Amino acid sequence: MINSLDGVGGAGRQQGAPELVTGGRDGSVKVWDVRQEVPVAVMEPAEGEPRRDCWTVAFGNSYNTEERCVCAGYDNGDIKLFDLRAMKVRWETNVKNGVCCVQFDRRDIEMNKIVATTLESGVLVFDGRTQHPERGLTCLRERAHKSTVWCVRHLPQNRDIFMTCGGSGSLNLWQYTYPAKRRDRDAGGDFGVMGTLTQLQSGIVSSQPVSALDWSPDKRGLCACIAFDQTVRVLIVTKLQLYG
Amino acid sequence: MVVNTTKSESLRAKYDLDIEQLDYKYIGQCTKVKTIENILRVLRSGQEGVYPDLVRFTEERLRTLKPSSALLRTEQPATALRFLDSKERDELLSDLTEWKQEVSAADAELKSSESAKEPTDQQLPPVRGTVQLRSAAAGERKPEPEQKPARIASYDYAAWDRYDVEAQLKLLDESDAPAAPPQSAVQPPSDPAIDDQPPVEGLSAAERSALALREKQKGNEYFRSGDFSRAAVYYTRSINASPTAAAFNNRAQANLKLGKYGSALMDCGAVLRREPNNVKALLRRGIARQMNKDWIKARLDFQRVLELEPNNPQARQHLGEVEKAIIGSETKRSKVLIQEVDSMEEEGVQGPAPAGDGDGHADSHQDKSDARTSLESDAAVGHKDDVSNKGPALIQEITQSENTEEVVINTRFRTQQPERSKNEVSISKEPEVGCGEKQKESPLPASHAANPKALSKDDEETTSEITSRTPEQDTPADAPKQLPQTLVADSSVPGHRVTDQPPPRPPATGSGQPHRWSTFEFMREWRCARRSERSAAATAVLLRSVDPDQLTEVLGAELDSALLSSVIRCVDEVMLAQDGPQRCHQLLQRLTDARRFHVVKLLLDARDRQRLQSIAERLWRRGVDVTALERSFLS
């Protein structure tokens, strides 16, 4: 069973091969090219290892035709970052709660930020620009929604604004501001410095969990979400142009 | 704070708070954010009772201490359209309708355009090779522990003979050395290869402009996060997809931040070619020019901005800076190359060498619009040994436009400051530059072969005097040692290609004659005098050496508040006592005729005004009619 799906590439929109990535119940993350039936890359646990549900996948770092990364979140709290050009695991970590949703702030630039949302109201922002050899990517944690955070979606017109959807039926709009110095150095190497996360707005749209949301790429602030109460809602978020 | 985790424990105990702390007085004076937050949690939980006012009070207090606190976040139901007031609702709906129309139009255009076909396989990159990656499981097997070499038994003498002490010591040393830090599998490349050309093959114009907009947005995001080089790259991509004025403008700003003023100039130029009244582009071009020290053009740009937007604070500020820089640079502009040519006595030939050198220098400024040349002869006392006997020593003063290289300054020329006056003098025209004549000549084009004339900037300068003089004039006995001497270049010297020069003025003789100053020299001497220990006395000496009738020309447009203040002080302290009232009165009278006097007069401070009052009073007591003076100074 496929839990999550993402796509990137193809001429005219972004550079690189047109590919899809799926994350499934069997713990495998498969990358498909639309031109053929056999997956072009499969990332799965080794034989005999316990297979954890892969709940979410996302593409990123696709700034030219060769580079591409896949980030996958699992139900035991694992987050793994796969580099598709080098065919290696670039980074992995465990955030203690099942990861419901993972997204890069933009697919078609060098990886800048990764936002992961977890069970038990966890919202984590990772700085993808600097990777410390031991500590990996730096993280900023927030608590929100007082329940499972089902989904995170970045605004297509501004990579520093994103919306999270919660199990309490609420939506939170966040803005990330960068620190003065984005990286620092210690004995082991360079590490990233996190900025601050401000909650711009929050609103309850439903009494049931809001499980998915998407922004319109054409109109800033227009989005659609679905909730467990079998409704599709179309929302407008105003005054986003004030944030850049 | 001790945190106990038994379930039956109350929150208050968990946060270690006293009941007295849940009180208006305590909360009102508490400044610790954590304590207030804990108090709020306890109150909100209701375990100690329900106190809505106290809760609100605590929230207010927390808001003053830390407005971004997570506890202050509230969740309200999202507004529906029917709950908005009519103005907002209408705005929203009209905005949406407008957008819908735009999108339908763009959609129709896209559908009708030719390139509504799928990209062919040739255009797409090849399929990624099929690879299977087995990710490491959670509990990785540890590498087997190293097998230590077996211990040699104490009785095993043969083995002990074979034991190599040196090798073992080396091994020990190596194992003590710090291990290299573990490298992660893949690191992000420090210099990513982002293509300058976005994928635009086969796209229609509408698609290209949409792509350009997205690339510009990416550039904006990088700019906001402080990454100016990548921002510039994405703006370049946007321009390559579909050039827009906004993308050029933004790239200019990114280049300004990166310090690439040349590229910023080009980008602003590109914008202004399409939109000549684009305020942002003008402002940025002005800033780029200011950074390149192109003061005049920068000033033009900022003035243009202020014409279009009179309240632009940035333009004002930059204009002020540029004006200051212009004033500063006007005194700095000319650099002097001293060329010993001839002694001034003979009417001999001036070799083409000096003139040639001057021309050579000037030729190098062909394209600089305000390149001028002038000569100022100098035969300071110390140079006497260098001066050949043939003619006047010539100093070719080559003025340069503001952002050019500097001409070598002969170190014999005794001055420590790089300040120079705006005055230029023609090589051989000194005699013409007689008593107080103002030369108004147009700026010289670089090829001053035709016309090495005295140039006055903005037609306002006095001419610098170059008088021919005899060697006796070399150092007036009373002049301070720093005063340089001026010589006249002989006008009849043919090498200067000057035409129509009247015969030189007979050299002034005797040290009693008031020295003919050039503005540049005067100002220089005044600055030296001002810095010297007995500045009033030195200024007095200087002022005495100036013929009062020449004062206005000598000062030129150099009069500023510092100079005026020092003159007043000098008159007050020294000259009134030593030189007599008539002389002082004459000096001050002439001063009022100097340019800029009226402006500078307004800048006099209270002390100077007091001094003037006292001077006027003393002059009056000695019988000088000071009404006119008072009126002009103190009105």
Which of chain B's residues have a Cβ under 8 Å away from the Cβ of A18?
A: 124
Q: Confidence band (pLDDT; 50, 70, 90) for B209?
A: confident
- Specify whether the CB–CB gap between B54 and A198 falls below 8 A: no
- Residues A88, B133: C-beta atoms closer than 8 Å: yes
User: Could you say which of B133, B193, B221 has the minimum Cβ distance to residue A43?
Assistant: B133
Q: What is the 3-state secondary structure (H, E, C) of B544-560?
A: HCCCHHHHHHHHCCCCC
- Specify whether the CB–CB gap between B539 and B532 falls below 8 A: no
User: Could you say which of A18, A64, A78 has the minimum Cβ distance to residue B124?
Assistant: A18
Asked whether residue A29 is assigned to any structural domain, the reply reads: yes
Share of chain B above pLDDT 70, in %: 62
- Specify whether the CB–CB gap between A71 and A102 falls below 8 A: yes
Over residues B283-312, the mean pLDDT reads 90
Query: What's at B256, amino acid-wise?
Result: L
What's chain B's average pLDDT? 71
- Specify whether the CB–CB gap between A29 and A42 falls below 8 A: yes
Q: Which DSSP symbol is given to B471?
A: G
Instruction: Report CA torsion sign: B10, B15, B17, B22.
Output: negative
Instruction: Provide the CATH number for the domain around residue A79.
Output: 2.130.10.10
pLDDT of res. B510 = 42
Count: domains in chain A: 1
Chain A window 214-243: which residues touch B at a Cβ cutoff of 8 Å? 218-219, 235-236, 238
- Residues B184, A136: C-beta atoms closer than 8 Å: yes
Asked whether residue A105 is assigned to any structural domain, the reply reads: yes
pTM for the full predicted model? 0.60
pLDDT of res. B336 = 63
Strand partners, A191: A184
> Where in the sequence is the domain holding A29, given as residue range(s)?
1-111
Over residues B280-305, the mean pLDDT reads 90
pLDDT of res. A188 = 85
Query: How far is residue B508's CA from residue B6's CA, in Å, rounded to a whole number?
Result: 108
Task: Give whichever of A39-48, B328-337, B409-418 has the largest mean pLDDT.
Answer: A39-48
Asked whether residue A66 is assigned to any structural domain, the reply reads: yes
pLDDT of res. B63 = 92
pLDDT of res. B609 = 83
Instruction: Report CA torsion sign: B617, B618, B621, B624.
Output: negative
Q: pLDDT at residue B182 above 50? A: no
- Residues B133, A89: C-beta atoms closer than 8 Å: yes
- Residues A205, B77: C-beta atoms closer than 8 Å: yes
Nearest residue of A to residue B241 by CA position?
A12
Taking the CA of residue A192 and the nearest CA in chain B, the distance in Å comes to 13
- Residues A63, B221: C-beta atoms closer than 8 Å: no
Q: pLDDT at residue B496 above 60? A: no
Sequence-distant (≥ 6) Cβ neighbours of residue B336 within 8 angstroms: B376, B395, B396, B397, B398, B407, B409, B410, B413, B420
Chain A window 156-185: which residues touch B at a Cβ cutoff of 8 Å? 157-160, 168, 170-171, 178, 182
Which of chain A's residues have a Cβ under 8 Å away from the Cβ of B226?
A: 178, 182
pLDDT of res. A240 = 92
- Specify whether the CB–CB gap between B439 and B454 falls below 8 A: yes
Count of all residues that appear for chain A in the document: 244
- Quick one: which H or E segment has residue B308? helix B295-308
Higher pLDDT, B505 or B230: B230
C-alpha distances in Å from residue B261, one per residue of A111, B84, B545: 30, 49, 48
Asked whether residue A171 is assigned to any structural domain, the reply reads: no
pLDDT of res. B610 = 83
- Residues B226, A10: C-beta atoms closer than 8 Å: no
Q: Confidence band (pLDDT; 50, 70, 90) for B633?
A: confident
- Residues B119, A49: C-beta atoms closer than 8 Å: no
Sequence-distant (≥ 6) Cβ neighbours of residue B472 within 8 angstroms: B509, B510
Q: Counting runs of H as helices and runs of E as strands, what totals does chain B give?
A: 24, 7
pLDDT of res. B442 = 39
pLDDT of res. A209 = 95
Higher pLDDT, B286 or B445: B286
User: Could you say which of A11, A33, A205 has the minimum Cβ distance to residue B128?
Assistant: A33
Higher pLDDT, B110 or B395: B110
Over residues B101-117, the mean pLDDT reads 79
Higher pLDDT, B371 or B199: B199
Centre a 10 Å sphere on the Cβ of residue B249 and count the other Cβ atoms it contains. Answer: 22
Q: Counting runs of H as helices and runs of E as strands, what totals does chain A give?
A: 0, 21
Q: What is the CB-side half-sphere exposure of residue B399 using CA atoms within 13 A?
A: 33
Asked whether residue A25 is assigned to any structural domain, the reply reads: yes
User: Could you say which of A42, A45, A219 has the minimum Cβ distance to residue B99?
Assistant: A219
- Residues A106, B218: C-beta atoms closer than 8 Å: yes
Asked whether residue A231 is assigned to any structural domain, the reply reads: no
The DSSP code sequence of B200-221 is -TT--HHHHHHHHHHHHHHHHH
User: Which of A63-77, B144-158, B351-365 shows the lowest mean pLDDT across its residues?
Assistant: B351-365
Taking the CA of residue A177 and the nearest CA in chain B, the distance in Å comes to 8
User: Which of B80-94, B146-160, B176-190, B613-627 shows the lowest mean pLDDT across its residues?
Assistant: B176-190
pLDDT of res. B125 = 75
Over residues A84-89, the mean pLDDT reads 89
Which of chain B's residues have a Cβ under 8 Å away from the Cβ of A196?
A: 68
Taking the CA of residue A11 and the nearest CA in chain B, the distance in Å comes to 6
pLDDT tens column, B251-274: 999 999 999 999 999 999 999 999
Q: pLDDT at residue B374 above 50? A: no
User: Could you say which of A65, A110, A160 has the minimum Cβ distance to residue B125?
Assistant: A65
* CB burial string B120-135: b at 16+ within 10 A, e below: eeeebeebbeeeebeb
Which of chain A's residues have a Cβ under 8 Å away from the Cβ of B188?
A: 110-111, 128-131
Nearest to B556 by CA among B461, B459, B440: B461
Higher pLDDT, B315 or B554: B315
Asked whether residue A22 is assigned to any structural domain, the reply reads: yes
pLDDT of res. B406 = 43
Task: Write phi, then psi, for B30 (nearest 5 degrees).
Answer: -80, 135
Q: What is the 3-state secondary structure (H, E, C) of B247-301?
A: HHHHHHHHHHHHCCHHHHHHHHHHHHHHCCCCHHHHHHHHHHHHHCCCHHHHHHH
Asked whether residue A160 is assigned to any structural domain, the reply reads: no
How far is the first Cα of chain A from the last one, in angstroms, to the nearest whole number?
A: 40
Over residues A147-152, the mean pLDDT reads 94
User: Could you say which of B75, B121, B131 has the minimum Cβ distance to residue A41?
Assistant: B131
Q: Confidence band (pLDDT; 50, 70, 90) for B601?
A: confident
- Residues B218, A88: C-beta atoms closer than 8 Å: no
Nearest residue of A to residue B216 by CA position?
A157
- Residues A50, B129: C-beta atoms closer than 8 Å: no
- Specify whether the CB–CB gap between B619 and B630 falls below 8 A: no
User: Which of A216-220, B313-317, B600-604 shows the lowest mean pLDDT across its residues?
Assistant: B600-604
Q: pLDDT at residue B113 above 60? A: yes
What 3-state class would DSSP assign to B467? coil
Rounded to two decimals, the ipTM of the complex is: 0.91
Query: How far is residue A5's CA from residue A30's CA, in Å, rounded to a whole number?
Result: 10
Counting one residue from A and one from B, how many pairs have CB atoms under 8 Å apart?
A: 168
Query: How far is residue B424's CA from residue B427's CA, in Å, rounded to a whole number?
Result: 9
- Residues A64, B73: C-beta atoms closer than 8 Å: no
- Residues B77, A203: C-beta atoms closer than 8 Å: yes
Instruction: Report CA torsion sign: B476, B479, B485, B491.
Output: negative
Q: pLDDT at residue B466 above 60? A: no
Which residue, chain included where needed, has tokens 């001409």? Answer: B407
- Quick one: which H or E segment has residue A97? none
Query: How far is residue B555's CA from residue B588's CA, in Å, rounded to a whole number?
Result: 13
Which of chain B's residues have a Cβ under 8 Å away from the Cβ of A159?
A: 218, 221
Over residues B3-27, the mean pLDDT reads 81
Instruction: Report CA torsion sign: B79, B85, B91, B94.
Output: positive
Q: pLDDT at residue B476 above 80? A: no
Which of chain A's residues have a Cβ under 8 Å away from the Cβ of B220?
A: 244
Q: Confidence band (pLDDT; 50, 70, 90) for B376?
A: very low
pLDDT tens column, B423-440: 443 344 444 433 433 444
User: Could you say which of A35, A87, A171 has the minimum Cβ distance to residue B131?
Assistant: A87
User: Which of A92-106, B32-46, B175-189, B304-318 shows the lowest mean pLDDT across its residues?
Assistant: B175-189
Q: Copy the structure tokens of residue B112.
A: 């009708």
Nearest residue of A to residue B123 by CA position?
A11
Taking the CA of residue B277 and the nearest CA in chain A, the distance in Å comes to 24
User: Could you say which of A11, A40, A128 has the minimum Cβ distance to residue B130?
Assistant: A40
pLDDT tens column, B530-549: 777 777 778 778 878 777 77
User: Which of A4-8, A89-93, B615-619 shows the lowest mean pLDDT across its residues?
Assistant: B615-619
Query: How far is residue A61's CA from residue A85's CA, in Å, rounded to a whole number?
Result: 11
- Residues B181, A189: C-beta atoms closer than 8 Å: yes
Q: What is the CB-side half-sphere exposure of residue B185 using CA atoms within 13 A?
A: 15
Instruction: Identify from B81, B91, B95, B127 which residue to disrupt to test chain A contact, counting A C-beta atoms within 10 A and taking the largest count.
Output: B127
Q: pLDDT at residue B10 above 80? A: yes
